[in-house]
Protein backbone atom coordinates (compact mmCIF):
# COMPACT_ATOMS: atom_id res chain seq x y z
CA UNK A 1 0.00 0.00 0.00
CA UNK A 2 1.19 3.54 -0.62
CA UNK A 3 2.81 5.47 2.18
CA UNK A 4 0.16 7.53 4.01
CA UNK A 5 2.27 9.20 6.66
CA UNK A 6 1.52 12.59 5.12
CA UNK A 7 -1.80 14.36 5.68
CA UNK A 8 -4.33 14.00 2.88
CA UNK A 9 -4.33 17.00 0.60
CA UNK A 10 -7.61 18.83 0.25
CA UNK A 11 -8.74 17.20 -3.00
CA UNK A 12 -11.75 19.46 -3.37
CA UNK A 13 -9.50 22.53 -3.21
CA UNK A 14 -7.37 21.02 -5.99
CA UNK A 15 -10.52 20.35 -8.04
CA UNK A 16 -11.62 23.94 -7.44
CA UNK A 17 -8.25 25.24 -8.63
CA UNK A 18 -8.53 23.09 -11.77
CA UNK A 19 -11.99 24.49 -12.51
CA UNK A 20 -10.74 28.06 -12.03
CA UNK A 21 -7.85 27.39 -14.42
CA UNK A 22 -10.23 25.94 -17.01
CA UNK A 23 -12.37 29.06 -16.71
CA UNK A 24 -9.22 31.18 -17.14
CA UNK A 25 -8.26 29.43 -20.37
CA UNK A 26 -11.81 29.80 -21.72
CA UNK A 27 -11.74 33.49 -20.72
CA UNK A 28 -8.45 33.92 -22.58
CA UNK A 29 -10.12 32.55 -25.68
CA UNK A 30 -13.05 34.96 -25.31
CA UNK A 31 -10.71 37.89 -24.58
CA UNK A 32 -8.83 37.14 -27.76
CA UNK A 33 -12.12 37.49 -29.59
CA UNK A 34 -12.54 40.97 -28.11
CA UNK A 35 -9.08 41.90 -29.36
CA UNK A 36 -7.49 42.17 -25.95
CA UNK A 37 -4.19 40.59 -26.96
CA UNK A 38 -1.90 42.38 -29.33
CA UNK A 39 0.85 39.81 -28.97
CA UNK A 40 0.13 36.35 -30.33
CA UNK A 41 3.15 34.89 -28.54
CA UNK A 42 1.88 36.19 -25.19
CA UNK A 43 -1.51 34.57 -25.63
CA UNK A 44 -0.01 31.23 -26.68
CA UNK A 45 2.36 31.35 -23.69
CA UNK A 46 -0.49 32.10 -21.29
CA UNK A 47 -2.72 29.33 -22.61
CA UNK A 48 0.11 26.79 -22.52
CA UNK A 49 1.07 27.94 -18.99
CA UNK A 50 -2.50 27.37 -17.81
CA UNK A 51 -2.49 23.90 -19.39
CA UNK A 52 0.84 23.06 -17.73
CA UNK A 53 -0.44 24.27 -14.36
CA UNK A 54 -3.53 22.06 -14.65
CA UNK A 55 -1.39 19.11 -15.68
CA UNK A 56 0.93 19.61 -12.71
CA UNK A 57 -2.02 19.79 -10.30
CA UNK A 58 -3.38 16.48 -11.63
CA UNK A 59 0.06 14.84 -11.61
CA UNK A 60 1.08 16.04 -8.15
CA UNK A 61 -2.15 15.65 -6.19
CA UNK A 62 -4.61 13.38 -7.98
CA UNK A 63 -1.90 11.00 -9.20
CA UNK A 64 -0.20 11.37 -5.84
CA UNK A 65 3.25 12.03 -7.33
CA UNK A 66 4.06 14.74 -4.78
CA UNK A 67 4.24 12.07 -2.14
CA UNK A 68 6.05 9.38 -4.06
CA UNK A 69 9.75 8.60 -4.05
CA UNK A 70 12.48 9.52 -6.49
CA UNK A 71 11.50 6.74 -8.90
CA UNK A 72 9.03 9.17 -10.46
CA UNK A 73 11.93 11.10 -12.01
CA UNK A 74 13.47 7.92 -13.42
CA UNK A 75 10.16 7.04 -15.01
CA UNK A 76 9.14 10.42 -16.34
CA UNK A 77 12.53 11.63 -17.55
CA UNK A 78 12.73 9.48 -20.73
CA UNK A 79 9.06 10.13 -21.39
CA UNK A 80 9.33 13.92 -21.17
CA UNK A 81 12.62 13.87 -23.11
CA UNK A 82 10.93 12.09 -25.98
CA UNK A 83 7.83 14.25 -25.67
CA UNK A 84 9.86 17.40 -26.24
CA UNK A 85 12.50 15.90 -28.49
CA UNK A 86 10.18 14.35 -31.07
CA UNK A 87 8.43 17.57 -32.15
CA UNK A 88 11.78 19.37 -32.19
CA UNK A 89 13.17 16.65 -34.43
CA UNK A 90 10.21 16.90 -36.80
CA UNK A 91 10.17 20.68 -36.96
CA UNK A 92 12.78 21.31 -39.64
CA UNK A 93 11.01 19.05 -42.11
CA UNK A 94 7.39 19.88 -41.39
CA UNK A 95 7.26 23.27 -39.72
CA UNK A 96 10.07 25.64 -40.53
CA UNK A 97 9.42 27.65 -43.65
CA UNK A 98 12.47 27.86 -45.84
CA UNK A 99 10.53 29.49 -48.65
CA UNK A 100 7.92 32.20 -48.71
CA UNK A 101 4.52 30.57 -48.59
CA UNK A 102 1.39 31.49 -50.48
CA UNK A 103 -1.17 31.93 -47.69
CA UNK A 104 -4.05 30.83 -49.91
CA UNK A 105 -2.75 27.54 -51.22
CA UNK A 106 -0.02 26.80 -48.68
CA UNK A 107 2.35 26.24 -51.56
CA UNK A 108 5.52 28.02 -52.50
CA UNK A 109 4.73 31.63 -53.42
CA UNK A 110 5.06 32.40 -57.09
CA UNK A 111 5.37 28.74 -58.10
CA UNK A 112 3.00 27.28 -60.67
CA UNK A 113 0.56 25.17 -58.74
CA UNK A 114 -2.37 23.69 -60.53
CA UNK A 115 -4.65 21.24 -58.75
CA UNK A 116 -4.90 17.80 -60.26
CA UNK A 117 -8.18 17.94 -62.19
CA UNK A 118 -7.89 14.60 -63.93
CA UNK A 119 -11.37 13.53 -62.88
CA UNK A 120 -13.09 16.52 -64.49
CA UNK A 121 -10.99 16.33 -67.64
CA UNK A 122 -11.55 12.65 -68.28
CA UNK A 123 -15.27 13.03 -67.55
CA UNK A 124 -15.42 9.83 -65.55
CA UNK A 125 -18.76 8.07 -65.41
CA UNK A 126 -20.80 8.22 -62.29
CA UNK B 1 15.56 -3.26 -1.77
CA UNK B 2 13.11 -2.39 -4.46
CA UNK B 3 10.58 0.34 -4.77
CA UNK B 4 8.17 1.04 -1.90
CA UNK B 5 5.13 0.49 -4.14
CA UNK B 6 3.27 -2.67 -5.15
CA UNK B 7 4.24 -4.34 -8.41
CA UNK B 8 0.91 -3.58 -10.01
CA UNK B 9 1.30 0.12 -9.32
CA UNK B 10 4.79 0.13 -10.82
CA UNK B 11 3.48 -1.74 -13.85
CA UNK B 12 0.69 0.80 -14.21
CA UNK B 13 3.13 3.70 -14.07
CA UNK B 14 5.38 2.09 -16.70
CA UNK B 15 2.33 1.63 -18.91
CA UNK B 16 1.35 5.27 -18.34
CA UNK B 17 4.85 6.29 -19.43
CA UNK B 18 4.28 4.50 -22.74
CA UNK B 19 0.84 6.08 -23.08
CA UNK B 20 2.35 9.54 -22.62
CA UNK B 21 4.78 8.79 -25.44
CA UNK B 22 1.91 7.48 -27.58
CA UNK B 23 -0.07 10.68 -27.24
CA UNK B 24 3.07 12.77 -27.60
CA UNK B 25 3.56 11.29 -31.05
CA UNK B 26 0.06 12.26 -32.12
CA UNK B 27 -0.08 15.67 -30.45
CA UNK B 28 3.52 16.55 -31.39
CA UNK B 29 2.81 15.74 -35.02
CA UNK B 30 -0.32 17.91 -34.91
CA UNK B 31 1.63 20.84 -33.45
CA UNK B 32 4.38 20.51 -36.02
CA UNK B 33 1.96 20.18 -38.95
CA UNK B 34 -0.13 23.11 -37.71
CA UNK B 35 2.83 25.48 -37.64
CA UNK B 36 3.97 24.21 -41.02
CA UNK B 37 0.66 24.85 -42.78
CA UNK B 38 -0.08 28.54 -43.33
CA UNK B 39 -3.64 27.95 -44.56
CA UNK B 40 -4.81 25.65 -41.75
CA UNK B 41 -8.59 26.06 -41.33
CA UNK B 42 -9.22 28.00 -38.13
CA UNK B 43 -12.63 29.64 -38.65
CA UNK B 44 -15.07 27.85 -36.31
CA UNK B 45 -17.80 28.25 -38.91
CA UNK B 46 -15.71 26.07 -41.24
CA UNK B 47 -14.18 23.60 -38.80
CA UNK B 48 -17.28 23.35 -36.60
CA UNK B 49 -15.12 23.29 -33.48
CA UNK B 50 -17.23 24.37 -30.51
CA UNK B 51 -15.19 25.80 -27.60
CA UNK B 52 -18.13 25.48 -25.21
CA UNK B 53 -18.39 21.73 -25.87
CA UNK B 54 -14.67 21.39 -25.26
CA UNK B 55 -14.83 23.37 -22.03
CA UNK B 56 -17.76 21.32 -20.74
CA UNK B 57 -15.89 18.12 -21.58
CA UNK B 58 -12.85 19.43 -19.71
CA UNK B 59 -14.98 20.13 -16.66
CA UNK B 60 -16.61 16.68 -16.92
CA UNK B 61 -13.25 14.91 -16.96
CA UNK B 62 -11.85 17.05 -14.13
CA UNK B 63 -14.90 16.24 -12.00
CA UNK B 64 -14.53 12.54 -12.77
CA UNK B 65 -10.83 12.66 -11.80
CA UNK B 66 -11.80 14.31 -8.51
CA UNK B 67 -14.44 11.65 -7.88
CA UNK B 68 -11.90 8.87 -8.51
CA UNK B 69 -9.75 10.32 -5.75
CA UNK B 70 -12.82 10.60 -3.50
CA UNK B 71 -13.64 6.94 -4.23
CA UNK B 72 -10.12 5.80 -3.41
CA UNK B 73 -10.04 7.77 -0.13
CA UNK B 74 -13.39 6.32 0.88
CA UNK B 75 -12.32 2.77 0.08
CA UNK B 76 -9.05 3.16 1.96
CA UNK B 77 -10.97 4.51 4.96
CA UNK B 78 -13.20 1.42 4.82
CA UNK B 79 -16.35 3.09 3.47
CA UNK B 80 -17.18 0.68 0.64
CA UNK B 81 -20.63 2.11 -0.10
CA UNK B 82 -19.34 5.65 -0.62
CA UNK B 83 -16.47 4.34 -2.73
CA UNK B 84 -18.79 2.38 -4.98
CA UNK B 85 -21.13 5.36 -5.37
CA UNK B 86 -18.25 7.60 -6.37
CA UNK B 87 -17.11 4.99 -8.91
CA UNK B 88 -20.62 4.92 -10.39
CA UNK B 89 -20.47 8.73 -10.67
CA UNK B 90 -17.14 8.49 -12.51
CA UNK B 91 -18.70 5.98 -14.91
CA UNK B 92 -21.66 8.27 -15.53
CA UNK B 93 -19.42 11.28 -16.18
CA UNK B 94 -17.38 9.20 -18.62
CA UNK B 95 -20.58 8.45 -20.53
CA UNK B 96 -21.46 12.17 -20.55
CA UNK B 97 -18.05 12.91 -22.06
CA UNK B 98 -18.59 10.31 -24.78
CA UNK B 99 -22.07 11.69 -25.45
CA UNK B 100 -20.79 15.22 -26.01
CA UNK B 101 -18.00 13.82 -28.20
CA UNK B 102 -20.57 11.89 -30.24
CA UNK B 103 -22.56 15.08 -30.84
CA UNK B 104 -19.38 16.84 -31.99
CA UNK B 105 -18.47 13.97 -34.30
CA UNK B 106 -21.96 13.93 -35.79
CA UNK B 107 -21.56 17.64 -36.57
CA UNK B 108 -18.36 16.86 -38.43
CA UNK B 109 -19.90 13.96 -40.37
CA UNK B 110 -22.91 16.09 -41.30
CA UNK B 111 -20.61 18.64 -42.91
CA UNK B 112 -18.52 16.01 -44.70
CA UNK B 113 -15.41 16.71 -42.64
CA UNK B 114 -13.67 13.36 -42.77
CA UNK B 115 -10.02 12.55 -43.52
CA UNK B 116 -9.61 12.23 -47.26
CA UNK B 117 -13.14 13.45 -47.96
CA UNK B 118 -12.66 17.20 -47.70
CA UNK B 119 -12.51 19.21 -50.92
CA UNK B 120 -9.49 21.51 -50.93
CA UNK B 121 -9.96 23.20 -54.30
CA UNK B 122 -13.11 24.46 -56.09
CA UNK B 123 -12.73 21.71 -58.70
CA UNK B 124 -12.60 19.03 -56.02
CA UNK B 125 -15.70 20.50 -54.37
CA UNK B 126 -17.58 20.53 -57.67
CA UNK B 127 -16.57 16.95 -58.51
CA UNK B 128 -17.61 15.83 -55.06
CA UNK B 129 -21.03 17.44 -55.50
CA UNK B 130 -21.40 16.02 -59.02
CA UNK B 131 -20.93 12.45 -57.92
CA UNK B 132 -22.83 12.96 -54.66
CA UNK B 133 -26.07 14.11 -56.36
CA UNK B 134 -26.09 11.11 -58.70
CA UNK B 135 -25.26 8.74 -55.85
CA UNK B 136 -28.01 10.26 -53.69
CA UNK B 137 -30.73 8.93 -56.02
CA UNK B 138 -29.27 5.43 -56.34
CA UNK B 139 -30.65 3.95 -53.08
CA UNK B 140 -34.16 4.84 -54.25
CA UNK B 141 -33.54 3.23 -57.63
CA UNK B 142 -32.19 0.10 -55.96
CA UNK B 143 -35.16 -0.06 -53.61
CA UNK B 144 -37.77 0.45 -56.30
CA UNK B 145 -36.41 -1.90 -58.97
CA UNK B 146 -35.58 -5.51 -58.25
CA UNK B 147 -33.31 -7.53 -60.48
CA UNK B 148 -30.65 -6.12 -62.74
CA UNK B 149 -26.93 -6.68 -62.28
CA UNK B 150 -26.03 -3.15 -61.20
CA UNK B 151 -27.56 0.26 -60.64
CA UNK B 152 -27.06 1.37 -64.25
CA UNK B 153 -29.11 -1.61 -65.48
CA UNK B 154 -31.73 -0.75 -62.93
CA UNK B 155 -31.79 2.81 -64.27
CA UNK B 156 -32.64 1.46 -67.72
CA UNK B 157 -35.25 -0.88 -66.24
CA UNK B 158 -36.77 2.12 -64.42
CA UNK B 159 -37.08 3.99 -67.68
CA UNK B 160 -38.63 1.10 -69.59
CA UNK B 161 -41.03 0.33 -66.77
CA UNK B 162 -42.32 3.90 -66.86
CA UNK B 163 -42.98 3.85 -70.61
CA UNK B 164 -44.57 0.39 -70.45
CA UNK B 165 -48.40 0.45 -70.75
CA UNK B 166 -48.75 -2.57 -68.47
CA UNK B 167 -47.40 -0.71 -65.46
CA UNK B 168 -50.08 0.41 -63.05
CA UNK B 169 -50.75 4.09 -62.41
CA UNK B 170 -49.75 3.75 -58.75
CA UNK B 171 -46.44 2.21 -59.73
CA UNK B 172 -45.86 4.99 -62.28
CA UNK B 173 -46.59 7.60 -59.60
CA UNK B 174 -44.06 5.89 -57.37
CA UNK B 175 -41.37 5.70 -60.05
CA UNK B 176 -41.81 9.08 -61.73
CA UNK B 177 -40.23 11.25 -58.96
CA UNK B 178 -37.25 8.92 -58.81
CA UNK B 179 -36.85 9.18 -62.58
CA UNK B 180 -37.10 13.00 -62.45
CA UNK B 181 -34.59 13.17 -59.63
CA UNK B 182 -32.21 10.90 -61.50
CA UNK B 183 -32.51 12.98 -64.69
CA UNK B 184 -31.96 16.24 -62.82
CA UNK B 185 -28.96 14.79 -60.99
CA UNK B 186 -27.38 13.51 -64.19
CA UNK B 187 -27.94 16.85 -65.91
CA UNK B 188 -26.29 18.64 -63.01
CA UNK B 189 -23.37 16.22 -63.00
CA UNK B 190 -22.82 16.50 -66.74
CA UNK B 191 -22.87 20.29 -66.54
CA UNK B 192 -20.25 20.24 -63.79
CA UNK B 193 -18.00 17.79 -65.59
CA UNK B 194 -18.28 19.87 -68.78
CA UNK B 195 -17.00 22.84 -66.79
CA UNK B 196 -20.16 24.91 -67.18
CA UNK B 197 -20.81 25.45 -63.46
CA UNK B 198 -18.89 27.66 -61.03
CA UNK B 199 -18.85 26.97 -57.31
CA UNK B 200 -21.42 29.60 -56.35
CA UNK B 201 -23.78 28.49 -59.11
CA UNK B 202 -23.40 24.89 -57.96
CA UNK B 203 -24.58 25.92 -54.48
CA UNK B 204 -27.63 27.61 -55.98
CA UNK B 205 -28.51 24.70 -58.23
CA UNK B 206 -28.12 22.24 -55.37
CA UNK B 207 -30.46 24.39 -53.25
CA UNK B 208 -33.02 24.38 -56.08
CA UNK B 209 -32.73 20.59 -56.36
CA UNK B 210 -33.26 20.19 -52.64
CA UNK B 211 -36.30 22.48 -52.72
CA UNK B 212 -38.14 20.42 -55.35
CA UNK B 213 -41.40 19.27 -53.75
CA UNK B 214 -41.50 15.89 -55.48
CA UNK B 215 -37.99 14.58 -54.98
CA UNK B 216 -36.04 17.20 -53.04
CA UNK B 217 -35.81 14.98 -49.97
CA UNK B 218 -33.64 12.51 -51.87
CA UNK B 219 -30.85 15.10 -51.96
CA UNK B 220 -31.00 15.92 -48.24
CA UNK B 221 -27.73 14.09 -47.56
CA UNK B 222 -25.73 15.95 -50.23
CA UNK B 223 -23.42 18.50 -48.64
CA UNK B 224 -23.05 22.12 -49.70
CA UNK B 225 -19.96 22.39 -51.89
CA UNK B 226 -17.40 23.94 -49.56
CA UNK B 227 -13.69 24.40 -50.11
CA UNK B 228 -11.48 23.95 -47.06
CA UNK B 229 -7.77 24.34 -47.84
CA UNK B 230 -5.67 21.95 -45.71
CA UNK B 231 -9.01 20.50 -44.58
CA UNK B 232 -7.86 16.91 -44.88
CA UNK B 233 -4.81 17.52 -42.67
CA UNK B 234 -7.11 19.15 -40.14
CA UNK B 235 -9.60 16.27 -40.27
CA UNK B 236 -6.88 13.62 -39.99
CA UNK B 237 -5.17 15.13 -36.98
CA UNK B 238 -8.46 16.01 -35.27
CA UNK B 239 -9.95 12.53 -35.59
CA UNK B 240 -6.70 10.73 -34.73
CA UNK B 241 -6.15 12.68 -31.51
CA UNK B 242 -9.72 12.82 -30.26
CA UNK B 243 -10.52 9.33 -31.58
CA UNK B 244 -7.68 7.64 -29.73
CA UNK B 245 -8.53 9.68 -26.66
CA UNK B 246 -12.16 8.51 -26.88
CA UNK B 247 -10.99 4.89 -27.23
CA UNK B 248 -8.98 5.36 -24.03
CA UNK B 249 -12.09 6.73 -22.31
CA UNK B 250 -14.09 3.66 -23.39
CA UNK B 251 -11.38 1.32 -22.09
CA UNK B 252 -11.38 3.29 -18.82
CA UNK B 253 -15.12 2.83 -18.50
CA UNK B 254 -14.74 -0.94 -18.93
CA UNK B 255 -12.08 -0.94 -16.20
CA UNK B 256 -14.34 1.05 -13.87
CA UNK B 257 -17.17 -1.42 -14.51
CA UNK B 258 -14.86 -4.21 -13.35
CA UNK B 259 -13.89 -2.11 -10.31
CA UNK B 260 -17.54 -1.57 -9.36
CA UNK B 261 -18.12 -5.32 -9.61
CA UNK B 262 -15.10 -6.09 -7.42
CA UNK B 263 -16.22 -3.62 -4.74
CA UNK B 264 -19.65 -5.24 -4.93
CA UNK B 265 -18.08 -8.65 -4.26
CA UNK B 266 -16.18 -7.13 -1.33
CA UNK B 267 -19.43 -5.83 0.11
CA UNK B 268 -21.13 -9.20 -0.19
CA UNK B 269 -18.25 -11.21 1.32
CA UNK B 270 -16.87 -9.06 4.16
CA UNK B 271 -14.05 -11.45 5.14
CA UNK B 272 -12.39 -11.10 1.73
CA UNK B 273 -9.04 -9.33 1.67
CA UNK B 274 -9.50 -5.72 0.62
CA UNK B 275 -5.95 -5.03 -0.40
CA UNK B 276 -6.05 -6.13 -4.03
CA UNK B 277 -9.38 -4.62 -5.10
CA UNK B 278 -8.43 -1.27 -3.55
CA UNK B 279 -5.03 -1.37 -5.22
CA UNK B 280 -6.86 -2.09 -8.51
CA UNK B 281 -8.97 1.01 -8.03
CA UNK B 282 -5.84 3.07 -7.35
CA UNK B 283 -4.23 1.74 -10.53
CA UNK B 284 -7.15 2.40 -12.84
CA UNK B 285 -7.51 5.76 -11.11
CA UNK B 286 -3.99 6.55 -12.30
CA UNK B 287 -4.98 5.51 -15.84
CA UNK B 288 -8.07 7.71 -15.68
CA UNK B 289 -6.00 10.66 -14.49
CA UNK B 290 -3.78 10.18 -17.50
CA UNK B 291 -6.84 10.25 -19.78
CA UNK B 292 -7.79 13.53 -18.08
CA UNK B 293 -4.23 14.81 -18.47
CA UNK B 294 -4.26 14.16 -22.21
CA UNK B 295 -7.55 16.02 -22.54
CA UNK B 296 -6.10 18.95 -20.54
CA UNK B 297 -3.60 19.33 -23.36
CA UNK B 298 -5.98 18.52 -26.21
CA UNK B 299 -8.48 21.20 -25.17
CA UNK B 300 -6.25 24.25 -25.69
CA UNK B 301 -4.46 22.75 -28.69
CA UNK B 302 -7.61 21.93 -30.64
CA UNK B 303 -10.21 24.38 -29.37
CA UNK B 304 -8.38 27.52 -28.22
CA UNK B 305 -5.05 27.96 -30.00
CA UNK B 306 -5.97 27.48 -33.69
CA UNK B 307 -6.65 30.88 -35.14
CA UNK B 308 -4.96 32.77 -32.33
CB contact under 8 A, B194 and A12: no
For A108, the 3-state DSSP assignment is strand
CB contact under 8 A, A1 and B38: no
Distance of CA B117 to the CA centre of its chain: 14
Give long-range contacts, CB 8 A cutoff, 24+ apart: B30-33: B30/B237, B30/B240, B30/B241, B30/B301, B31/A87, B31/B301, B32/A87, B32/A90, B32/A91, B32/A94, B32/A95, B33/A94, B33/A95, B33/B233, B33/B237
pLDDT number for residue A31: 87
Smallest CA-to-CA distance from A120 within B112, B151, B129 is with B129
Chain A residue numbers touching B21 (CB-CB < 8 A): 79, 82-83
pLDDT number for residue A126: 36
- Which of B 4-43 lie inside 8 A of A, CB atoms? 4-6, 9-10, 13-14, 17, 20-21, 24-25, 28-29, 31-33, 35-39
Distance from CA of B240 to the nearest CA of A (A): 17
pLDDT number for residue A106: 63
- Which of A 42-101 lie inside 8 A of B, CB atoms? 43-44, 47-48, 50-51, 54-55, 58-59, 61-63, 68-69, 71-72, 75-76, 78-79, 82-83, 86-87, 90-91, 94-97, 101
pLDDT number for residue A120: 47
pLDDT number for residue B266: 87
Chain B residue numbers touching A55 (CB-CB < 8 A): 293, 296-297
CB contact under 8 A, A90 and B28: yes
CB B155 within 8 A of CB B141: yes
pLDDT number for residue A123: 45
Residues in contact with B152: Cβ distance below 8 Å, sequence separation at least 6, in sequence order: none
Distance CA A122, CA B194 (A): 10
CB contact under 8 A, A25 and B32: no
CB B278 within 8 A of CB B76: yes
Residues in contact with B286: Cβ distance below 8 Å, sequence separation at least 6, in sequence order: A63, B9, B12, B13, B16
A106 — alpha (psi -120 to 50), left (phi > 0) or beta?
A: left
Chain A residue numbers touching B304 (CB-CB < 8 A): 25-26, 28-29, 47
* A121 Cβ under 8 Å from any chain B Cβ: no
Smallest CA-to-CA distance from B57 within B299, B300, B302 is with B299
Q: If you write DSSP's letter for every residue of B117-139 in order, what string do you get?
A: T---SHHHHHHHHHHHHHHHHHH
> Can you give the pLDDT of all 126 residues of chain A as single tens digits?
445 566 778 899 999 999 999 999 988 888 888 888 888 888 989 999 999 999 999 999 999 898 888 888 888 898 889 888 988 888 888 777 776 666 666 666 555 555 555 444 444 443
pLDDT number for residue A8: 79
Chain B residue numbers touching A20 (CB-CB < 8 A): none
> Can you give the pLDDT of all 308 residues of chain B as single tens digits?
678 889 999 999 999 999 999 999 999 999 988 888 878 898 888 889 988 999 999 999 999 999 999 999 999 998 999 999 999 999 999 999 999 999 999 999 988 899 988 988 888 899 999 999 999 999 988 888 888 888 888 888 888 888 888 888 888 888 888 999 999 999 999 999 898 888 888 999 999 989 988 888 888 888 888 888 889 999 999 999 999 999 999 999 999 999 999 999 888 887 778 888 899 999 999 999 999 999 999 999 999 888 77
Would you call B238 exposed, middle or buried from its count of C-beta atoms within 10 A (0-12, 13-18, 19+)? buried
Would you call B72 exposed, middle or buried from its count of C-beta atoms within 10 A (0-12, 13-18, 19+)? buried
CB contact under 8 A, A115 and B69: no
Question: CB pairs below 8 Å between A and B: how many?
Answer: 155
Q: Where are the alpha helices (DSSP H) in A58-124?
A: 71-94, 118-122
Q: Which of A16, A17, A22 is the best residue to mutate to test the B interface, defined by the most B CB atoms within 10 Å of its own CB?
A: A22
pLDDT number for residue A112: 56
CB B209 within 8 A of CB B219: yes
Amino acid sequence: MADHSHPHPNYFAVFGALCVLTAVSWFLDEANGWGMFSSRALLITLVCAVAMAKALFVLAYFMHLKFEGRWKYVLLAPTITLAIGLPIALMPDLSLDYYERDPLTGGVAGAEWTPVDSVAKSGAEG
Amino acid sequence: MGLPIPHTKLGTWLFLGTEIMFFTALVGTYIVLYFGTPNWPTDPAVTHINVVAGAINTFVLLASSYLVVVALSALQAGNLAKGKLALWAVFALGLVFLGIKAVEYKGKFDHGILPGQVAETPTQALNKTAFAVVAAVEPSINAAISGGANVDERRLMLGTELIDDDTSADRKNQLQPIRDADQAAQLFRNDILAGKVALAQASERLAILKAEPEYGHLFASVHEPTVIPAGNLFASTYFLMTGFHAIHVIVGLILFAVAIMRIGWLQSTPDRSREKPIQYVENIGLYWHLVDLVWIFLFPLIYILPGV
